[in-house]
A and B are shown apart, each in its own frame.
Chain A
Amino acid sequence: MSASDRRVREVFIELSDTLVDDFDIIEFLDRLAARCSELLGVSACGILLADHHGVLSLVAASSEQARLVELGQLQNLEGPCMDAFSTGRPVQVGDLRDARTRWPRFAATAVGAGYLSVQALPMRLRDSVLGAVNLFSRSTGELDAETVRLGQALADAATIGIVHQRALARKEVVTEQLQSALNSRILIEQAKGFLSHGLGVDVDEAFAMMRSYARAHNRRLTEVADEIVQGTLTLSRSRD
């Protein structure tokens, strides 16, 4: 279940190396979500941020499945993420089948997608909460205390990414960064839709193609998305 200390160190070094000037926040959070599910031994990890309407949106995930987006959106009605966000405390559900009265729609959708347990960790910054990290497992059971501590450290790393390493960032700066991350995500959704038509692929595949292109050419994901919707960059289907 738990990762080796060495691997944990490697991941934190990798993440801090990513936090250079002008880094792409979505790319950073995406990488963090992938490392989260690896280190914590969970099946999927989603990172949700709250906007000025108090609405949570999925901005990054370990696997870009439409189901995870749907689960994120559902949580504006009910679910562990909304609870973690509103209370600022972690929420653990060892067996989602027992949570059908607590969150009828969320539990049914999550179980339908093959997830049996879920943890939500708040993204805290001083006295406010910016969002939450959602951990889904295909097996039942709660995470042990040590794994939750590591998860919270990773959630804090996500928060640091958003405030741009400025530990004492003013509220304005935090708002600016948060808005920037949410807006980048909207741009990525638009580019996914744009590609889905041009290449005849579904949105999950469209995202994968965008990300591979960005990584292969060492480009920022957000810039690639922008060029796709402006029509200045055309991706072609790889035939492998």
Chain B
Amino acid sequence: MDHDRSARVWGAIRAASGGNGAAPSLAYAVSACAQALSAAGAGLAMARDDGLLEPVLATGPEIGELDELQFELGEGPSRDAVVTSTPVLEPDLTGLEAGRRWPAFAAAAADRGIRGVFALPVAAGAAKVGVLTVYRRVPGPLAGDLLADALVFADAVFVLALDHRQGISADLDEVIEAAFTARRAEVHQAAGRLAAQQQISVTDALARLRAHAYSSGISLHKVAVDVMSDHLRLDGDRPLGKGPPRITPRPAHPEQAEKEEEED
């Protein structure tokens, strides 16, 4: 586990948020990402409830226009990243491949002096939140550690967006702790199980698991294990964004007061 990389990325988000105290927000995460990657700017497009994507945040008007342009033209790296759930990393828009793939967008972006576009899905499996797109004036790949950093920024945006859905602004250390465990198999199994139980989307299920972890002080991994073993049912009779859902603990084995075992 490369704690250094995560710490560096979250540190950059914290710094962009104005240092200590302030809860990290999506806008600061997007601008910290653009800065860390020496980019002209970055934009975030998010999925609406009907599944359509719309640009919601950009580091400046020109970047916002580029994001809009991709969705107006119906072509571009961001759209492809969403459709394939895979990063689309284009080091040079003036290259042959980019021109063939996105003729109108590549030309329009190159006219504005943009050469590299890196579109990163903000998603985990079926939980598709949106896409983070980084625009650079210098052609060439994201060298060295920058590519991995970009992916960590996309992860950070993902967890911030999930928490934002639930109206949570957790303190940064809690966010980071929950971000580390978010990639574990049990967490995603539990999100699928909760989605089926409550007939909600996997995105909302994942957001609820995190909200419960915050409000109860139990680790996300432990919450997931409890959901999978039916020791915990998260009742879904409350509208989203109105605080944490009601909890009905079901002590199947009351004598089994399990000890927390965190491995992250």
Contacts and interface: CB of A to CB of B under 8 A. Distances in A.
Given A52-B148, A76-B1, A229-B126, A176 B87 contact: yes
Question: Which of B2, B84, B155 has the most chain A CB atoms closer than 10 A to its own CB?
Answer: B2
Interface string B63-98: 000000000000000000000111111010000000
Given A175-B87, A190-B202, A193-B188, A226 B126 contact: yes
Interface stretch (A93-101, A155-163, A194-202): A194-202
Question: Which of A77, A180, A229 has the most chain B CB atoms closer than 10 A to its own CB?
Answer: A229
Contact of B193 (A53, A171, A187, A197): A197
A186 B203 CA distance: 13
B195 interface: yes
A192 B5 contact: no
Contacts of A172: 89, 91, 141, 147
A107 to B, nearest CB: 15
Interface string A186-217: 11111111111110000100000000000000
B53 interface: no
Given A180-B84, A229-B202, A55 B183 contact: yes
Interface secondary structure of A, over-half rule: helix
Interface residues on B, range: 35 or more
A2 interface: no
B52 to A, nearest CB: 16
A73 B184 contact: yes
Contacts of A198: 196
B88 A176 contact: yes
Interface residues of A, number: 40
A229 B204 CA distance: 13
Contacts of A171: 141, 147
Given A52-B5, A55-B183, A171-B147, A193 B196 contact: yes
A170 interface: yes
Interface of A: 51-55, 57-58, 69, 73-74, 76-77, 170-172, 175-177, 179-180, 183-184, 186-198, 203, 226, 229-231
7 contacts: A53-B152, A76-B1, A183-B124, A190-B202, A191-B192, A194-B193, A197-B196
Interface of B: 1-2, 5-6, 84-89, 91, 121, 123-127, 141, 147-148, 151-152, 155, 180, 183-185, 188-197, 199, 202, 228, 263-264
Nearest 7 interchain pairs by C-beta:
A193-B192, A193-B189, A187-B125, A54-B2, A186-B125, A190-B192, A194-B192
